[in-house]
Amino acid sequence: MRLNAIHAALAAATLTLALGAQVRAAEQEPIQPLEPAKITDPAKVELGKQLFFDPRLSRSGWISCNSCHNLSMGGSDNFKSSVGDHWAQGGIRAPTVLNSSLNIAQFWDGRAKDLAAQAGGPIANPIEMGSTHEAAEKTLDTIPGYRTQFKKVYGVDKIGIDQITDAIAAFEATLITPNSRFDKWLKGDKAAITADELAGYQLFKDTGCVACHNGPAVGGGSYQKFGLVHEYKTANPATGRAGVTGNDGDRMMFKVPTLRNIELTPPYFHDGSAKTLSQAVATMAWVQLGKTLTPDQNAKIVAFLKTLTGDQPSFPLPQLPPSSDQTPRPDPFAPVAKK
Amino acid sequence: MRLNAIHAALAAATLTLALGAQVRAAEQEPIQPLEPAKITDPAKVELGKQLFFDPRLSRSGWISCNSCHNLSMGGSDNFKSSVGDHWAQGGIRAPTVLNSSLNIAQFWDGRAKDLAAQAGGPIANPIEMGSTHEAAEKTLDTIPGYRTQFKKVYGVDKIGIDQITDAIAAFEATLITPNSRFDKWLKGDKAAITADELAGYQLFKDTGCVACHNGPAVGGGSYQKFGLVHEYKTANPATGRAGVTGNDGDRMMFKVPTLRNIELTPPYFHDGSAKTLSQAVATMAWVQLGKTLTPDQNAKIVAFLKTLTGDQPSFPLPQLPPSSDQTPRPDPFAPVAKK
């Protein structure tokens, strides 16, 4: 073997070792990169996208899924509590729909086992979209452009709520946000984040945040008591898992939210009480971990969190199939019928 | 000249004559094809697009231009009257924003001379977006992604309402809907519309509709009295141009609406009283022209009107620049301050 060739072989072996070490390092990190959603049924996803943007699923004809899970601003409405039918006030901070397929369950209290089970909730909730499943089905059945698509995707002549929520869930499952700077770092691009951001990540791990905020979604994988070390004081009456399990020991147990794209969705917590990321980090360190961060530590963790913003949903603005003469003409100002 | 060459020359001459005749025919029609908007300042249009979709321009943080001029459904909300701040009821049917740059003026009563003058109205109208120009400026000034764009497009360090409305207007001016089947017919594709649709167009001309609904927008070019031949009875208190000119003779004078994409935007008229195109056509024939159409004539005109649906706006869902820690956190449920 000539000397040049030996050098080349050595260099290649070194590179292989180095890359291997990087891959192993990434595997050992408690956070994993997001991978883009694989779309297996594009017609279903397209149908679900239209439904997600269609206000005709609401009583008023004015509120769509996108009204509170606004895909132009991080998949949420960024209020303490959401606006519903007749400007009703919701009870809790609307969680982002981005990466929500990675959650162990849906809603803050996990009362819906998956996205399809979730999607039916707001449609029929009097303080959200304020309609009924029957009314939603009837309305869509009068829209030829929907009938054609439901026939194609589900083989049905009559549109049912189970197909409506299944299609919405299929669309929502595509709302993954890969390619954040942190993911690039995880995949070996060491220049993708700054020294301060990296120091913030180290602090995020050392302080203990990562115990709950881990996995590809940096959260969403477990329920935890809010106020684990010190009591979390809030005027918001939500009780968390206790409302689902009936078990008083589950009071204030909430699903750990994803921290992906967290920069885009102030205010924070289920009660929206933290106006800034800095406030949220300080509160979490204290009530969950019993720690007080220095301003410098806080700033570094915030800097790290901002590296978690990934590619936002990118698709042409959906065009909704037109109503027919048979489609109800909604009146947002009609009094709400008593049940 | 050889015989083949003579034949070819004759054929070419015949084709030229035929095309010329078609072009002349199209020129003689009272309706002209829409041409796509020419975008001369893409950065300004992109900025305006973001603003059009940004609910942070409203007091509540929940209502954007797109809330009532929904570009997924024909550029309107399709209600008799629109929903505003705190679910306030608007006074009039929201006109479509599609092709609105072709109108002689904006609003049903033409009180805004152009799109920029229009855009400032809803932002500060208490029953629409419910904010103030000052609040809108202040909010945008706290958003780095907007500051960069306003600096680039307008060279300003402080964002002003004049630039905000100018950018929104620049975006809205791109919302032209070319390539309808009727436009293809106008341009010479005689198979683009059916015999019934063509008969409907002939009836549309013969009945007199075309006297006001003409030009590229099939309307939008003049003010006309609603109830010209027979009184138009409505509970809606809008007085039309009289409210602008102070001239009692202008009562019930409204801007003739465009009929482009009319299939997409029921209900019809400034009071939204006509639930279907068929009802709208029958009423217009009677009150404006003193004519009663047969069901067959009515159906043919409706069929023609449905050929006016063109290419809808097509662009990626806008992503809005994130709020900073300094950006106000809107509370939709805060009581409205008295002025």
Residues B145-191: tens digit of each pLDDT? 999 999 999 999 999 999 999 999 999 999 999 999 999 999 999 99
pLDDT digits (tens, 9 = 90+) for A28-37: 899 999 999 9
Are A323 and B78 a contacting pair at CB < 8 A? yes
User: Measured between CB atoms, which of A62, A73, A87 is closest to B86?
Assistant: A87
Whether ipTM exceeds 0.90: yes
Residues of B in contact with A81 (CB under 8 A): 333
Does A264 sit within 8 Å of B79, measured CB to CB?
A: no
Q: What is the mean predicted confidence (pLDDT) over B60-68?
A: 98
Residue A1 has pLDDT above 90, yes or no: no
Collect all residues with Cβ–Cβ distance below 8 Å to A25 and sequence separation of at least 6: none
Is A78–B72 a contact, with Cβ atoms under 8 angstroms apart?
Answer: no
Instruction: Please give the model's pTM, rounded to 2 decimal places.
Output: 0.92
Check CB contact under 8 Å for A329 and B275.
Answer: yes
Of the candidates A83, A263, A316, which has its C-beta nearest B332's C-beta? A83
Q: Which of B62, B142, B236, B263 to mutate to test the interface with A (most CBs of A within 10 A)?
A: B62
d(Cα A263, Cα B226) in Å, to the nearest integer? 52
Confidence of residue B2 (pLDDT cuts 50, 70, 90): low
What CA–CA distance (Å, rounded) separates B143 from B136?
A: 11
Share of chain A above pLDDT 90, in %: 90
Neighbours of A102 (CB within 10 A): 18
Structure tokens belonging to residue A222: 């477990």
A79 and B318 in contact by Cβ < 8 A?
Answer: no
Average pLDDT over every residue of B18-23? 52
| Chain-chain contact of A78 with B323 (C-beta, under 8 angstroms) | yes
* A55-85 residue pLDDT tens: 999 999 999 999 999 999 999 999 999 999 9
Closest to B61 (Cβ–Cβ): which among A79, A86, A316? A79
* Interface contact B325-A276, CB threshold 8 A: yes
Q: CA-nearest residue of chain B to A54?
A: B72
Q: Where are the alpha helices (DSSP H) in A29-180?
A: 42-52, 65-68, 115-124, 133-141, 144-154, 161-172
Instruction: Say whether pLDDT at B64 is over 50.
Output: yes
Reading the block at residue B166, the tokens are: 């100018």
Distance from CA of A15 to the nearest CA of B (A): 39
Residue type, A199: A
A332 and B87 within 8 Å at the Cβ level: the answer is yes
Distance in angstroms (rounded) separating the CA atoms of residues B123 and A173: 35
Q: Report the mean per-residue pLDDT for chain B.
A: 94
Q: Which of B73, B268, B273 should we substitute to test contact with A (largest number of A Cβ atoms within 10 Å)?
A: B73
Do A325 and B275 count as a contact with CB atoms less than 8 A apart? yes
Q: Tell me which chain B residues have a C-beta less than 8 angstroms from the C-beta of A326.
A: none
Q: How many CB pairs under 8 A join A and B?
A: 111
pLDDT (mean) for A131-140: 98
Start-end of H helices in B195-315 = 195-207, 242-245, 277-289, 295-305
Averaged pLDDT for residues A143-163: 98
The alpha carbon of residue A315 is apart from the nearest alpha carbon of chain B, in Å, by: 5
Peptide bond into B318 cis (omega under 30): no
Residues 6 or more apart whose Cβ sits within 8 Å of residue A10:
none
What percentage of chain B carries pLDDT values higher than 90? 90
Q: Which residue of B has its CA nearest to A333?
A: B89
In angstroms, the separation between the Cα of residue A13 and the nearest Cα of chain B is 44
| Prior bond of B335 cis (ω within 30°) | no
Q: What is the pLDDT of residues B185-214, one digit of tens each?
A: 999 999 999 999 999 999 999 999 999 999
Task: Report pLDDT for A140.
Answer: 98
CB contact under 8 A, A264 and B322: yes
Q: Is B46 a catalytic residue?
A: no
Identify the band that residue B1 occupies on the pLDDT scale cut at 50, 70 and 90.
very low
Identify which of B55, B278, B316 has the shortest CB distance to residue A314.
B316
Residues whose CB falls within 8 Å of the CB of residue A227, separated by 6 or more in sequence, listed in order: A252, A287, A288
Task: Locate the chain A residue with the closest alpha carbon to B50.
Answer: A72
Catalytic residue (one of B46, B128, B172, B197)? B128
In A, which residues are within 8 Å of B329 by CB distance? 78, 80, 266-267, 275
pLDDT above 90 for A173: yes
